[in-house]
């Protein structure tokens, strides 16, 4: 349905799901700017969803966004374009027309105010905070132009405050790269841990909806250990239902029978090597003190290795009685778009953390991203605090080790639509925003 007409034959319209999808596939977009999220929030929340855009005289969509409208202060509505709108913000002609029509739309729908946080890159940084590429001049001109349209930039905030989207993503560029190239560009620790999971026979399977409780238990373990706020069960179940194959929930697990059989073979091999070394020490004549010391050290090292293998066998045998043959050790929750795979959340069993299942998950999904021909693997949000005392300093170091870099976004913009009511609203200190 056409809502408004504007000069140059451009039309501000409610888009069909097909129109919106065709447009987003040609442009970088966030997983919240999808038909799946539109349907989910329409069905599962008290919000009203709008899928709107601007069509040029060739009937091509040139701007689009999904808007969430939520009742506020009884008679008003709060509007939010999560990681939107999607358009070329440097094309001020399109910007002016789109926001002119959007303003009229908002007034017709009794909007109090609107918040948006578009997917506009401000800087590319390394994980120490150094700027590798700057788009500051471009973003500053965008900020100034939006300000003239009544959209006030909320600043370049750092950290998590629960009211806004994070402003920094850690991403791995895989476009046009082979798996070997990506692996070889990781640091030695990441390479070693990935090889460790492969050597240990860590397997990957994708969880069904009925198996999601496994993932949720891992998240509870991780929340308890790292003390961060997780979303409720409904969020993950609803996303799984509505996103379909655009959501992936891989689980790293151990086939205990297979693992123990491998450890038994290693146990037998070590027993033989120990016996041989002990025999050499006892029977070989004319050994120098240095040779004896070398043999003794070898025996001690072999016994240490044997002890480790026996402990693994004991641990897994006990685990088998409790969990069965398939032992889950880690799981993650991922969104896929036409541009990227996003690591949204993940958890690991505290009891079996030493099996490094999280590395198996990461490597599996990085390889998946490459196989799908996508541009980037998105490790997702970090605080943007690059100091040693940052609350996510360990997380930053972990992501850096994969040879990722940091995308810094422009941040939030807010426009009061009903200025008097909005001023009163702020004074009441009841500001509430809605994250993805």
Q: Tokens representing 305? A: 């290795």
Q: Mind listing the pLDDT tens digit for each residue in 83-122?
A: 999 999 999 999 999 999 999 999 999 999 999 999 999 9
Mean pLDDT of 360-380: 97
What is the percent of the chain where pLDDT is above 70? 95
Average of per-residue pLDDT values in the chain: 93
Specify the pLDDT at position 436. Answer: 46
pLDDT band at 143 (very low <50, low <70, confident <90, very high): very high
Question: Is the bond leading into 267 cis (omega within 30 degrees of zero)?
Answer: no
Say whether pLDDT at 155 is over 70.
yes
pLDDT tens digit string along 191-211?
999 999 998 889 999 999 999
Contact yes or no for 314/320 (Cβ under 8 A): no
> CA 113, CA 111: separation in Å to the nearest integer?
6
Tens-digit pLDDT profile for residues 41-67: 999 999 999 999 999 999 999 999 999
Provide the CATH number for the domain formed by 2-120+411-427 in this structure: 3.40.630.30
pLDDT at 430 over 60: no
Q: What is the DSSP string of 371-432?
A: HTT-SEEEEEEE-S--STT-TTHHHHHHHHTTT-EEEEE---EEEESSHHHHHHHHHTT---
Euclidean distance between CA atoms 277 and 223, whole angstroms: 48
Cβ atoms < 10 Å from Cβ of 372: 12
> What pLDDT shows up at residue 161?
80
Check whether 352 has a pLDDT greater than 70: yes
CATH topology of domain 170-254+325-408: Aminopeptidase (3.40.630)
User: C-alpha distances in angstroms, 161 versus 166, 228, 347, 381, 435?
Assistant: 8, 12, 22, 13, 11
Strands 111-116 and 131-134: unpaired
Distances from the Cα of 296 to the Cα of 143, 214, 272, 283, angstroms: 71, 46, 15, 14
Query: So what's the pLDDT on residue 434?
Result: 43
The 10 Å Cβ neighbour count of residue 211 is 14
Domain boundaries along the sequence of the chain: 2-120+411-427, 170-254+325-408, 256-322
Token pair belonging to 55: 């069509």
Query: Could you tell me whether strands 61-72 and 76-81 are parallel, antiparallel, or unpaired per DSSP bridges?
Result: antiparallel
pLDDT value of position 287: 85
What single-letter DSSP state applies at residue 7? G
Q: What is the pLDDT of residue 226?
A: 63
Phi, psi (rounded to 5 degrees) for 299: -60, -45
Average pLDDT estimate for 224-231: 70
* Token pair belonging to 418: 């009903």
H or E element that contains 172:
strand 168-173
b/e 240-268 (16+ beta carbons within 10 angstroms → b): bebbeebbbbbbbbbebeebbebbeebbe
Q: Choose the weakest-confidence range: 98-102, 217-221, 226-230, 306-310.
A: 226-230
Q: CB of 82 within 8 A of CB of 66? A: yes
Asked if residues 361 and 332 have their Cβ atoms less than 8 Å apart, the reply is yes
Do 2-120+411-427 and 170-254+325-408 agree at the fold level?
A: yes
For 209, counting Cβ atoms within 10 Å of its Cβ (0-12 exposed, 13-18 middle, 19+ buried), the class is exposed
162-197 pLDDT, tens per residue?
Answer: 778 999 999 999 999 999 999 999 999 999 999 999
Q: Going by C-beta distance under 8 Å and a sequence separation of 6 or more, which residues neighbour residue 431?
A: 163, 425
Q: Are 252 and 331 in contact (CB under 8 A)?
A: yes
Reported as a single tens digit per residue, the pLDDT across 233-281 is 999 999 999 999 999 999 999 999 999 999 999 999 999 999 998 998 8
Q: How is domain 256-322 classified at the CATH fold level?
A: Methane Monooxygenase Hydroxylase; Chain G, domain 1 (1.20.58)
| Residue 1 banded pLDDT, cuts 50, 70, 90 | very low
Cα distances (angstroms) measured from residue 36 to each of 39, 159, 233 = 5, 28, 18
- The tokens of 158 are what? 């750092």
Q: How far apart are CA 31 and CA 295, in angstroms?
A: 60
- What is the pLDDT, as a whole number, of residue 285? 80
Say if residues 79 and 69 touch (Cβ distance below 8 Å): yes
């Amino acid at each position: 349905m056409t809502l408004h007409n504007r000069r140059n034959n451009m039309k501000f319209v409610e888009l069909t799901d097909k129109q919106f999808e065709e447009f987003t596939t040609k442009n970088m977009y966030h997983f919240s700017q999808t038909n799946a999220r539109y349907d989910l929030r329409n069905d599962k929340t008290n919000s009203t969803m709008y899928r709107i855009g601007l069509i040029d005289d060739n009937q091509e969509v040139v701007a689009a966004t999904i808007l969430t409208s939520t009742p506020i202060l009884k008679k008003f509505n709060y509007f939010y374009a999560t990681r939107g709108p999607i358009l070329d913000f440097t094309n001020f002609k399109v910007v002016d027309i789109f926001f002119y029509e959007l303003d009229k739309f908002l007034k017709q729908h009794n909007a109090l105010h609107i918040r948006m946080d578009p997917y506009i890159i401000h800087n590319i940084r390394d994980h120490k905070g150094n700027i590798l590429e700057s788009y500051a001049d471009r973003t500053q001109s965008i900020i100034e132009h939006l300000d003239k349209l009544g959209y006030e930039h909320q600043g370049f905030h750092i950290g998590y405050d629960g009211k806004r989207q994070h402003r920094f993503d850690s991403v791995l560029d895989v476009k046009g790269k082979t798996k070997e190239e990506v692996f070889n560009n990781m640091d030695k620790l990441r390479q070693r841990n990935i090889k460790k999971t492969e050597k240990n026979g860590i397997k990957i399977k994708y969880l069904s909806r009925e198996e999601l409780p496994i993932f949720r238990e891992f998240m509870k373990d991780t929340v308890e250990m790292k003390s961060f706020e997780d979303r409720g069960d409904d969020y993950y179940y609803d996303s799984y239902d509505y996103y379909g194959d655009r959501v992936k929930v891989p689980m790293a697990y151990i086939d205990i029978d297979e693992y123990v059989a491998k450890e038994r073979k290693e146990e037998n091999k070590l027993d033989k090597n120990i016996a041989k070394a002990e025999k050499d020490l006892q029977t070989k004549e004319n050994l120098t003190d240095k040779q004896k010391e070398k043999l003794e050290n070898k025996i001690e090292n072999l016994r240490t290795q044997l002890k480790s293998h026996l402990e693994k066998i004991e641990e897994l045998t006990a685990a088998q009685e409790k969990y069965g043959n398939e032992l889950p050790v880690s799981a993650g929750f991922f969104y896929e778009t036409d541009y990227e795979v996003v690591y949204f959340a993940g958890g690991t069993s505290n009891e079996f953390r030493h099996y490094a299942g999280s590395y198996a998950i990461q490597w599996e999904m990085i390889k998946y991203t490459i196989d799908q021909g996508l541009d980037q693997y998105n490790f997702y949000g970090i605080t943007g605090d690059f100091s040693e005392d940052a609350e996510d300093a360990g997380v930053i170091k972990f992501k850096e080790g994969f040879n990722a870099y940091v995308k810094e976004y422009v941040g939030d913009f807010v426009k009061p639509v009903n200025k008097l009511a909005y001023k009163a609203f702020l004074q009441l200190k009841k500001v509430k925003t809605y994250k993805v």
